[in-house]
Amino acid sequence: MKIVALAGSIIGSKTKTAMIKVREMIENKYPEHEVTLLDLADYTLDFSDGRNYFEYDGDTKYVTETIMGADAIIIGTPTFQASIPATLKNIFDLLPVSAFRDKVVSVVVTAGTAKHYLMAEQQLKPILSYMKAHIVPSYVFIEEKDFLRKEIVNDDVLFRLERLIEDTVLTSEAYEIIRAQKDEEYDF
Protein backbone atom coordinates (compact mmCIF):
# COMPACT_ATOMS: atom_id res chain seq x y z
CA MET A 1 0.00 0.00 0.00
CA LYS A 2 1.19 3.50 -0.85
CA ILE A 3 0.49 6.10 1.79
CA VAL A 4 1.09 9.84 1.38
CA ALA A 5 1.41 12.07 4.43
CA LEU A 6 0.70 15.61 3.25
CA ALA A 7 1.66 18.69 5.23
CA GLY A 8 -0.64 21.25 3.64
CA SER A 9 1.06 24.54 4.51
CA ILE A 10 4.27 26.27 3.44
CA ILE A 11 4.63 28.14 6.75
CA GLY A 12 4.60 27.14 10.41
CA SER A 13 5.87 24.08 12.23
CA LYS A 14 2.96 22.38 13.98
CA THR A 15 1.50 20.59 10.96
CA LYS A 16 4.95 19.61 9.76
CA THR A 17 5.89 18.29 13.22
CA ALA A 18 2.68 16.27 13.36
CA MET A 19 3.17 14.80 9.88
CA ILE A 20 6.80 13.87 10.56
CA LYS A 21 5.47 12.00 13.61
CA VAL A 22 2.80 10.35 11.45
CA ARG A 23 5.42 9.15 9.00
CA GLU A 24 7.59 7.78 11.80
CA MET A 25 4.64 5.93 13.32
CA ILE A 26 3.68 4.37 9.98
CA GLU A 27 7.26 3.29 9.31
CA ASN A 28 7.46 1.65 12.72
CA LYS A 29 4.08 -0.03 12.70
CA TYR A 30 3.72 -0.89 9.00
CA PRO A 31 7.20 -1.34 7.50
CA GLU A 32 5.58 -3.28 4.63
CA HIS A 33 3.76 -0.15 3.43
CA GLU A 34 5.43 2.66 1.52
CA VAL A 35 5.00 6.08 3.07
CA THR A 36 5.93 9.39 1.42
CA LEU A 37 5.90 12.69 3.26
CA LEU A 38 4.96 15.64 1.07
CA ASP A 39 5.66 18.84 2.96
CA LEU A 40 4.40 21.65 0.72
CA ALA A 41 7.08 23.93 2.19
CA ASP A 42 9.62 21.87 0.23
CA TYR A 43 7.98 22.52 -3.14
CA THR A 44 7.06 25.40 -5.40
CA LEU A 45 3.63 24.77 -6.87
CA ASP A 46 1.75 26.52 -9.65
CA PHE A 47 -1.76 27.71 -9.02
CA SER A 48 -4.34 25.60 -10.79
CA ASP A 49 -4.87 27.02 -14.29
CA GLY A 50 -7.21 24.48 -15.84
CA ARG A 51 -4.68 21.96 -17.10
CA ASN A 52 -4.81 18.31 -16.16
CA TYR A 53 -2.53 17.61 -13.21
CA PHE A 54 -0.16 15.52 -15.31
CA GLU A 55 0.34 18.35 -17.77
CA TYR A 56 2.26 20.52 -15.29
CA ASP A 57 6.02 20.35 -14.89
CA GLY A 58 8.40 20.05 -11.98
CA ASP A 59 7.13 20.19 -8.41
CA THR A 60 3.47 20.58 -9.36
CA LYS A 61 3.58 17.45 -11.49
CA TYR A 62 5.54 15.52 -8.85
CA VAL A 63 3.28 16.42 -5.92
CA THR A 64 -0.01 15.84 -7.74
CA GLU A 65 1.12 12.58 -9.36
CA THR A 66 2.40 11.29 -6.03
CA ILE A 67 -0.99 12.01 -4.45
CA MET A 68 -2.86 10.42 -7.37
CA GLY A 69 -0.66 7.34 -7.10
CA ALA A 70 -1.44 6.82 -3.40
CA ASP A 71 -3.91 4.33 -1.92
CA ALA A 72 -4.29 6.34 1.25
CA ILE A 73 -3.60 9.98 2.06
CA ILE A 74 -3.25 11.49 5.50
CA ILE A 75 -3.82 15.21 5.15
CA GLY A 76 -2.28 17.51 7.73
CA THR A 77 -3.67 21.03 7.77
CA PRO A 78 -3.19 24.08 9.95
CA THR A 79 -6.06 26.48 10.62
CA PHE A 80 -5.72 29.80 8.83
CA GLN A 81 -8.45 32.44 8.99
CA ALA A 82 -10.92 29.89 10.30
CA SER A 83 -10.23 27.55 7.37
CA ILE A 84 -7.66 25.43 5.52
CA PRO A 85 -4.69 27.25 3.98
CA ALA A 86 -4.84 28.30 0.33
CA THR A 87 -1.86 26.05 -0.40
CA LEU A 88 -3.94 23.00 0.50
CA LYS A 89 -6.99 24.20 -1.43
CA ASN A 90 -4.71 24.65 -4.43
CA ILE A 91 -3.83 20.94 -4.26
CA PHE A 92 -7.53 20.09 -4.47
CA ASP A 93 -8.02 22.55 -7.33
CA LEU A 94 -5.13 20.99 -9.26
CA LEU A 95 -6.65 17.49 -9.08
CA PRO A 96 -9.57 16.09 -11.13
CA VAL A 97 -13.12 16.15 -9.71
CA SER A 98 -13.18 12.56 -8.52
CA ALA A 99 -9.49 12.43 -7.63
CA PHE A 100 -9.99 10.54 -4.37
CA ARG A 101 -12.22 7.80 -5.73
CA ASP A 102 -11.05 4.46 -4.33
CA LYS A 103 -8.69 6.25 -1.94
CA VAL A 104 -8.89 6.52 1.83
CA VAL A 105 -8.27 9.98 3.24
CA SER A 106 -7.79 10.86 6.89
CA VAL A 107 -7.16 14.20 8.54
CA VAL A 108 -4.87 15.76 11.13
CA VAL A 109 -5.66 19.37 12.08
CA THR A 110 -3.42 21.75 13.96
CA ALA A 111 -4.44 25.11 15.39
CA GLY A 112 -3.42 27.76 17.89
CA THR A 113 -6.49 27.16 20.02
CA ALA A 114 -9.63 25.04 19.94
CA LYS A 115 -11.67 27.98 18.67
CA HIS A 116 -12.17 26.41 15.22
CA TYR A 117 -12.22 22.74 16.18
CA LEU A 118 -15.08 22.02 13.74
CA MET A 119 -13.25 23.55 10.79
CA ALA A 120 -12.27 20.16 9.32
CA GLU A 121 -15.79 18.84 9.82
CA GLN A 122 -17.46 21.79 8.17
CA GLN A 123 -14.98 22.80 5.51
CA LEU A 124 -12.43 20.12 4.72
CA LYS A 125 -14.61 17.02 4.81
CA PRO A 126 -17.18 18.39 2.32
CA ILE A 127 -14.38 18.90 -0.21
CA LEU A 128 -13.03 15.40 0.39
CA SER A 129 -16.52 13.91 0.06
CA TYR A 130 -17.09 15.78 -3.19
CA MET A 131 -13.83 14.37 -4.50
CA LYS A 132 -15.13 10.87 -3.62
CA ALA A 133 -12.74 10.06 -0.76
CA HIS A 134 -13.45 7.30 1.70
CA ILE A 135 -12.98 9.52 4.75
CA VAL A 136 -11.86 8.09 8.06
CA PRO A 137 -14.58 9.52 10.32
CA SER A 138 -12.50 10.70 13.29
CA TYR A 139 -9.73 13.20 12.81
CA VAL A 140 -7.01 14.28 15.19
CA PHE A 141 -7.11 17.85 16.40
CA ILE A 142 -3.86 19.16 17.87
CA GLU A 143 -3.45 22.60 19.39
CA GLU A 144 -0.55 24.79 20.38
CA LYS A 145 -0.36 23.54 23.96
CA ASP A 146 0.11 19.95 22.74
CA PHE A 147 3.50 20.90 21.26
CA LEU A 148 6.77 21.80 22.95
CA ARG A 149 9.77 22.77 20.86
CA LYS A 150 8.63 20.84 17.77
CA GLU A 151 7.62 17.72 19.64
CA ILE A 152 4.15 16.47 20.47
CA VAL A 153 4.00 16.26 24.27
CA ASN A 154 0.37 15.31 24.84
CA ASP A 155 0.05 11.53 25.17
CA ASP A 156 -3.61 11.69 24.25
CA VAL A 157 -2.66 13.17 20.88
CA LEU A 158 -0.03 10.49 20.33
CA PHE A 159 -2.49 7.70 21.09
CA ARG A 160 -5.06 9.28 18.80
CA LEU A 161 -2.52 9.57 15.98
CA GLU A 162 -1.75 5.86 16.40
CA ARG A 163 -5.44 5.06 16.14
CA LEU A 164 -5.87 7.34 13.12
CA ILE A 165 -3.05 5.56 11.30
CA GLU A 166 -4.44 2.16 12.20
CA ASP A 167 -7.92 3.18 10.99
CA THR A 168 -6.47 4.60 7.78
CA VAL A 169 -4.63 1.38 6.94
CA LEU A 170 -7.48 -0.92 7.97
CA THR A 171 -10.08 1.13 6.07
CA SER A 172 -7.90 1.02 2.99
CA GLU A 173 -7.50 -2.75 3.29
CA ALA A 174 -11.24 -3.16 3.79
CA TYR A 175 -12.03 -1.15 0.68
CA GLU A 176 -9.51 -3.21 -1.24
CA ILE A 177 -11.51 -6.33 -0.31
CA ILE A 178 -14.80 -4.66 -1.26
CA ARG A 179 -13.32 -3.63 -4.60
CA ALA A 180 -12.05 -7.15 -5.28
CA GLN A 181 -15.49 -8.58 -4.48
CA LYS A 182 -17.21 -6.10 -6.78
CA ASP A 183 -14.71 -6.73 -9.56
CA GLU A 184 -15.39 -10.44 -9.34
CA GLU A 185 -19.11 -9.78 -9.60
CA TYR A 186 -18.73 -7.38 -12.54
CA ASP A 187 -16.74 -9.75 -14.69
CA PHE A 188 -15.42 -7.09 -17.06
The distance of closest approach from Cβ of residue 105 to another protein in the complex, given in angstroms and rounded to an integer, is 15
Site residues (CB under 8 A) for another protein, limited to 156-175: none
How many of the other CB atoms lie within 10 Å of CB of 131? 17
Q: How far is the CB of 102 from another protein (least distance, A)?
A: 8
Alpha carbons 39 and 31: distance in angstroms, whole number: 21
Vertex 59, ends 56 and 60: CA angle to 5°? Answer: 40
**What residues from 14 to 53 belong to the interface with another protein (CB under 8 A)?**
49-53
Tally of helices (H runs) and strands (E runs) in the chain:
6, 8
Which residue in 10, 41, 68, 127 binds another protein (CB under 8 A)?
68
Cβ within 8 Å of residue 85, ≥6 positions away: 8, 9, 10, 77, 78
- Tell me if 181 contacts another protein by CB under 8 A: no
Assess 183 for contact with another protein (CB under 8 A): yes
CB of 50 to another protein, least distance (A): 5
Judged by CB under 8 A, which of 58, 69, 96, 126 binds another protein?
96
Residue 9 CB, nearest distance to another protein (Å)?
25
Mark the segment that binds another protein (CB under 8 A) among 71-79, 107-115, 150-158, 180-188. Answer: 180-188
Which of 28, 42, 44, 55 is close enough to bind another protein by CB under 8 A?
A: 55
Q: For the chain, what is the largest distance between any 2 Cα atoms, rounded to a whole number of angstroms?
A: 55
Which amino acid type is present at position 162? Answer: E
Instruction: List 6's β-bridge partners, or say none.
Output: 38, 75
